[in-house]
Chain A
Amino acid sequence: MLTATILLPLMTGLVVLALPRDRPGLARRVALGGAVLTLAAALTLWAGLEPGGGDLQWRTTLPWIPSVGAAYDVAVGGLSLSLILLTAVLLTAVMVYALPGHDRAHAHAFLFLLLATGLIGLFAARDLLLFYLFFEVGLVPMYFIVGIWGGERRRYAALKFFLYTRAGSLAMLLGFLALYLAMEPHTFSLPAIARAKPLDGPSLAGSLAFLALLAGFGVKLPVVPLHNWLPDAHVEAPTEGSVVLAGLQLKMGGYGMLAVLLPVLPETTSRFGWLLVALALASLLYGALAALAQTDMKRLVAYTSVNHMGFVTLGVAVMAMAGGEGARQLAFNGAAAQMVSHGLLTGGMFLMVGMLQHRAGTREIGHFGGLIGAMPAFSGLLGLLAFGSLGLPGLSGFIAEFQAIGAALQLSAWVAGIAVLAVLVTTAVYLRLVTGLLMGRVPPHAPPLAPLTASEAWSAGGLAALSLGVGTLPAVLLALLDGTTAALAHLP
């Protein structure tokens, strides 16, 4: 079943490629069908998941390259499955949003579906070489998406994205190889390596492996100062691309830290804990302040992602350093919930920005005003997503950031204080965006804006509704995460 979930998008993508060229609408509908099926398959996985049953459920193990000890080993736990569900949800939302788009529809749909296979496979992989394979399969299609359908500076942005992430992932690969060779007999099996923790400790090899993995995950998350590719890629990517880039691909970094870095190198990570704290605080503050300075909505949302992902790094740092099990649990739940919440909210925000850009041909906040009268449905959705992003209770952002800050408090009041400061700045960012767009007077000469189309309303509305659902019933998500929490909270 898990393998079927991984391969469903890819298979759909191949079917789409085989469809007749002159029927883009058909290609779109088939792709959407594949996304819905993937979502259904992921929900089936959820239904069969035992809460607290650990991280190796639904496991399938097949020999892959036996001569080097690499296997096709996939399984899910709470963290994996929540991100797989997020992938399926965002894939569906993107496919709904893209229904009317007919520019090279076949290739477009194929690339998104291929990317979804990469992401789902990544979250399920329990073998480091397989993890790496899916890591890159989840990245390369985005290079084409940005480069083909992106904005004016798309070639520059696509290349920058590709080079940054590839440099990071090659460092990560070297780290994986070091872990592999430290195992006797050599194996890429993640559960085995996490059990043996071969390089963990104060050794030079352990430190180098930690830095190599941190480089790979840190570029992806991203942490300041490895974030430089992000604004360009997010801004130049087409709307659907930004949704997936921010909503899903950043999670590859966060998931890697939580599911690979921490279990494999816990002691080394805790030795580097203050480095992580410093990176997290830098990301939190820099992302918030940079967002405050933007007048381009898309750039603004892109920078808030840097801020939001800072909470994930912070959670990882607390998990590595804090002594108490309670603090660890809080930190893990905060980091994991933040990934899910950010995926829903920022995915939705990029859709909203895309809708405005599509209508008005500009993304400058100053060119808009008084939308609440002109586009009530749009305004309602935007407001919901923005308040969720700034952490209003009742929406998903709150439960994530509340727990992350609570955990940080156990580490140091100063750290928690700086995190709260960053939240305040983010609040200002979103309030400025909301008031600028929705309130005030409609600027003179502004073109009349058409109401939302069905595909726009359903895609963004679905994400907003899910965020509301997670926010009002956090117990559902937290129960799902519980199994992984228990496993990770018992780290030495």
Chain B
Amino acid sequence: MGGCMDLGAVAPEMVLAGTALALVPVAGWVRGRWRRLPAAIALLALLVAMGLTAPMLTSTPREAFCGTYAVDPFRGFYQLVVEAGALVSLLSLASHFRASEQEPHHPVALLMATAGGMGLVAATDLGLIILFLQMVSFPSYLLVLLVRSDGPAQEAALKYFLYGAAALAVMAYGLTFLFGLTGSLNLRAIGAGLAGADRAWVALAFGLVVVGYGFEMALVPFHVWAPDVFQGGAAPVSGFVSVVPKVAAFAGLLRFLLEAMPSGLSAWPTVLSLVAAATMTFGNLLALRQDSLKRLLAYSSMAQAGYMLMAVAVAGQVPGALPAVGYYLLAYLLMNLAAFTVIAQVERVIGDDGFAAVRGLGRRAPWPGAALALALLSLAGVPPLAGFAGKVFLLVAAIEGGLAWLAVVAAANMAVALFYYAAVIAEMYFKEPERPEGLAPGAGYAWALGLCTAGTLGFGIAPGLARGLAQLGSTLLR
């Protein structure tokens, strides 16, 4: 067995998980100004991990740990996106919890969840997949709870936990069928073994497995937890939960589908296209009725996941689908985290995330206001922002894959979605401020916002680079 133990293959994960473990005692010791130390160390660890991940973008696909773990460009790209999401979230969290009791603790949970998410991107073994899904979820529950030990946060964390536990149990049950049908836990072995298996059993197993991924991605009908969790947690935590687990789950689902269910086994393209249509429509229609910005963004995130799922559904047949999803996840990360960062700054000062909290923001805080407006326009798909290029890639993939009807549904959804994004912008710019407060200051906020806005604009005006990276990242072990 010793031959396949390749510790170099898990270097980035080890850096993150190791730092997280080392920070547990540190977080308990530090006092006063030293409370900011864990966040600084975590930041460093994330940068090191990114440096270790980057070379995988150009690696030749191979397996490690006796076929349970992949080293391929796919992993390189999606792990980088996960790390980038964690990095931006960490910056924003560090400002948000400055000088509070929780300041030294959040980096521990964040690093742990990030390591779990990264594992989920790379795992090619059913047992590891379940393990990493737990590992990305549990610290996320903690993050939600850690924030404020008040009613809504506790309720949100509990809801998140219970839904998560149930969803993962269902998924684990589904995985047992796959093992039973093929006698293997390895995704590629399953893919080969399922060719002759009974279709009904495969469909049942697939249906159960999708529950787990669907929970992390907040797809209809497994989305019920998302609005409460987003609203209950502090805004930067909601930002983290809206990005890191979702990116990891998308990558994990893609790997699962392409390796274990090749050539559209159990009609997953059809199933996923229906789920995509339902998710985007549901998310957008419900977002129309929200008066809390975090809830609004929760439903908007659902809609965004629906758009991306459209390209996932054709990932097996259209070569442009994988880069489209990859590009969109990156764009989604940038625009969503920008929005959550500004909301965090508003919430810190006003103590509320209703529409009134951003009224007149264009005057109260011109630059962050403009950044939030850009993020919302990008989510709505207005050029020349990253969300626009991403939507074009997704629509092209869908039409090319023969899902023209879904592209029409998506375009109609994008038109509807403009209504609620524009409503927020109207609050910010077309009404006079009722309260004079600016925004909570903080270097972390400023960096997070600056990075996200620069990315939203830069990748929007010149999508070539990001799209090229995503293209590199569409080679995976098969």
Contacts and interface: CB of A to CB of B under 8 A. Distances in A.
Interface string A166-198: 110011011001101100000000000000000
A143 interface: yes
A170 B408 CA distance: 9
B382 A68 contact: no
Nearest to A150: B430
A377 interface: no
Interface stretch (A132-140, A401-409, A416-424, A454-462): A132-140
Interface in B460-477: 462-464, 467-468, 471
B166 interface: no
B419 interface: yes
Contacts of A144: 429
A338 B468 CA distance: 45
Interface in B404-444: 404, 407-408, 411-412, 414-415, 418-419, 422-423, 426, 429-430
A129 B414 contact: no
Given A133-B383, A137-B384, A177-B392, A170 B411 contact: yes
B77 to A, nearest CB: 14
A136 B389 CA distance: 13
A144 B464 CA distance: 29
A137 B460 CA distance: 13
Interface stretch (A51-59, A152-160, A437-445, A465-473): A152-160
Given A137-B384, A147-B429, A155-B430, A68 B320 contact: yes
B5 to A, nearest CB: 38
Interface in B344-383: 377, 382-383
A159 B422 contact: yes
How many of chain A's residues touch chain B, expressed as a range? Answer: 20 to 34
Interface centre among B382, B412, B462 (most CB of A within 10 A): B382
A63 interface: yes
A15 interface: no
Given A67-B467, A162-B422, A140 B408 contact: no
Interface centre among B392, B399, B422 (most CB of A within 10 A): B392
B415 A163 contact: yes
B411 A181 contact: no
B393 interface: yes
Contacts of B412: 170
Contacts of B172: none
Contacts of A155: 426, 430
A332 to B, nearest CB: 29
Contact of B323 (A67, A132, A173): A67
Contacts of B392: 68, 129, 173, 177
A133 B391 CA distance: 13
B304 to A, nearest CB: 16
A148 interface: yes
A159 B426 contact: yes
Contact of B418 (A132, A163, A178): A163
Contact of A177 (B382, B399, B430, B468): B399
A159 B471 CA distance: 37
Nearest to A159: B422
A159 B407 CA distance: 24
Contacts of B464: 63-67
Contact of B400 (A129, A140, A163, A181): A181
Nearest to B470: A67
A66 B408 CA distance: 25
Contact of A140 (B382, B393, B419, B468): B382
Contact of B411 (A132, A140, A174): A174
A147 B382 contact: no
A252 to B, nearest CB: 14
Q: Which 6 A-B pairs give the minimum distances between C-beta atoms?
A: A133-B383, A147-B430, A167-B415, A170-B411, A136-B383, A155-B430
30 contacts: A66-B464, A67-B323, A67-B468, A67-B471, A68-B392, A129-B392, A133-B383, A133-B384, A133-B388, A136-B388, A137-B384, A143-B422, A144-B429, A147-B429, A147-B430, A148-B429, A155-B430, A159-B419, A159-B422, A163-B415, A163-B418, A163-B422, A166-B414, A170-B412, A170-B415, A173-B392, A173-B411, A174-B399, A177-B396, A181-B396
